[in-house]
Amino acid sequence: MSKADVPSALLIMGVSGSGKSTVGAAVAQRLGWHFQDADSLHPPANVVKMARGEELDDADRTPWLAAVAQMLQRWQVQKLKGVIACSALKHRYRQQLIGAQNDLRLVYLHGDRALLAQRLQQRSGHFMSPSLLDSQLATLETPTPDEAAIVIDIGHSVEQQVRDILLGLQAQPERPAGN
């Protein structure tokens, strides 16, 4: 992707409660792009496990990440623009998802533990248990400079976060030379 180009896809990453579904849907609506929540691509066995408060292991995540990557590839082939909300906590997962696709911009929703815990506690009707927050934070590998993520402060309103993402898209991604 040349620096002046707007990407065709956004991957909204962050731990549980950071607002991926909320902000991802809002930015997709603003852009008029498709929205996909990666949570809905989990195999049923993973949903059951998470509902029990158990952590997923890499074997559980393999079919899920494959489904998310397939979704991104489908958009690319069909020349559709889309936003995907996906925790993508490890660098390795992001590499697997993004692969050779350089027409995608990473958005990292960042906030402190207290705010994340508060949002998880206030949320109802969702399969993510608040007790998993600490393991999510332990697993999180924040994006490295070569990933050129747009970093968003989750303390802001959803509307402000959407504006911050759009501003980040206009700014030139600062990737190290060679990428």
Ligand X SMILES: Nc1ncnc2c1ncn2[C@@H]1O[C@H](COP(=O)(O)OP(=O)(O)OP(=O)(O)O)[C@@H](O)[C@H]1O
Q: Is 119 in the site for ligand X (CB under 6 A)?
A: yes
Cβ–Cβ < 8 Å for 23, 17: no
Residue 14, contacted partner among ligand X, Mg ion, none, CB below 5-8 A by kind:
ligand X
CB-wise, 14 or 82, nearer to ligand X?
14
Among 53-61, 120-128, 143-151, 170-178, which window interacts with ligand X (CB under 6 A)? Answer: 120-128
| Residue 92: contacted member of ligand X, Mg ion, none (CB under 5 to 8 Å, by partner type) | none
> Looking at beta carbons only, is 33 or 127 nearer to ligand X?
127
- When the beta carbons of 98 and 132 are compared against ligand X, the nearer one is 132
> Shortest Cβ distance from residue 32 to Mg ion (Å)?
21
N residues, the chain: 179
Looking at 74, 92, 113, 123, which residue binds ligand X (CB under 6 A)? 123
Cβ contact 154:18 at 8 Å: yes
d(CA 80, CA 77): 8
What residues make contact with ligand X under the rule CB under 6 A? 14, 16-22, 39, 85, 87, 119, 122-123, 128, 154, 157-158
